[in-house]
Amino acid sequence: MNPRILAVTVARILRQLRHDRRTIALLVAVPTVLLTLVYYMYVDQPAVPGQPSAFDRIALVMLGFFPFIVMFLVTSIAMLRERTTGTLERLLTTPLAKTDLLFGYGIAFGLAGALQAAIAAAVAYWVFGLHTAGSSGLVIMIAALNAVLAVALGLLCSAFARTEFQAVQFMPVVVAPQLLLCGLFVPRDQMAGWLQAISDALPLTYAVEALQEVGARAEPTGTMWRDVAIVAGATVLALVLAAATLRRRSG
């Protein structure tokens, strides 16, 4: 890896994003619209005393979902575009290392995801009165980490897609099970054993648990830091696998 090449690659990816105004508008606006929907869905639900309100519970986890879903899709398509337009083949004949490209995407879209999370969190806290016991900075940090995890998974999955049609099919395959089993819809300790085992193996589970820890406790807990480390570890693993599946030579 070469720091100068990594830096110019991050700048190049962010420049591409900057030229795409509509994508930026969607990145910023869609979480706000969805948070509004969730707010009005639950605004009249009676709160159970001593428990967080339904909005607090769901909005907190949603702040982690947005960058995860969006950055997974954006990365899958961006990487597939590199393959189909021939820029990837050309890049691989230049001094750029494979890790320069993969970490370049991780950093650039991680930053975009962090920005999205920060804006969504600002709306959730200031407009809709989201309440968490812990700090909003930790919420944004975990959401940004989710974005980088999604980029890494997107880079890995794009190696197995030959067309855009295939690439978008990986979204229900990779993202949906993690959303369903993360513990938001059914608490994990109430799931059947085999579902819990699957849930244990999915990285988003730990991101959601970390967010719930921030929601419930004023100070960062050991569980939260362990969960953050697991998500970071899964991210590095996915990036290493993505580098291993990216071949300079093809048939």
Name which of 230, 235, 185, 190 is nearest 210 in CA terms. Answer: 230
Query: Of 16-24, 34-42, 63-71, 203-211, which segment contacts other proteins by CB under 8 A?
Result: 16-24
Binding mask 49-88 vs other proteins (x if CB under 8 A, - otherwise)?
------------------------------------xxx-
Query: Of 14-22, 57-65, 144-152, 159-167, which segment contacts other proteins by CB under 8 A?
Result: 14-22
Instruction: Pick the binder of other proteins from 25, 29, 36, 90 (CB under 8 A).
Output: 90
Does 91 bind other proteins (CB under 8 A)? Our answer is yes
CB-based contacts of 62, cutoff 8 Å, min separation 6: 31, 34, 35, 38, 120
Does 89 bind other proteins (CB under 8 A)? Our answer is yes
- DSSP string for residues in 128-153: S----SS-HHHHHHHHHHHHHHHHHH
Name which of 177, 169, 171 is nearest 153 in CA terms. Answer: 171
Nearer to other proteins, 19 or 46 (CB): 19
DSSP secondary-structure letter at 188?
G
DSSP secondary-structure letter at 220?
-
For other proteins, how many residues bind (rule: CB under 8 A)?
24
Nearer to other proteins, 49 or 251 (CB): 251
State CA 30 to chain mean position distance.
Answer: 15
Instruction: Pick the binder of other proteins from 19, 44, 49, 165 (CB under 8 A).
Output: 19
3-class SS of residue 244: helix
By CB under 8 A, name the binding residues for other proteins.
4-5, 8-9, 12, 15-16, 19-20, 85-87, 89-96, 248-251
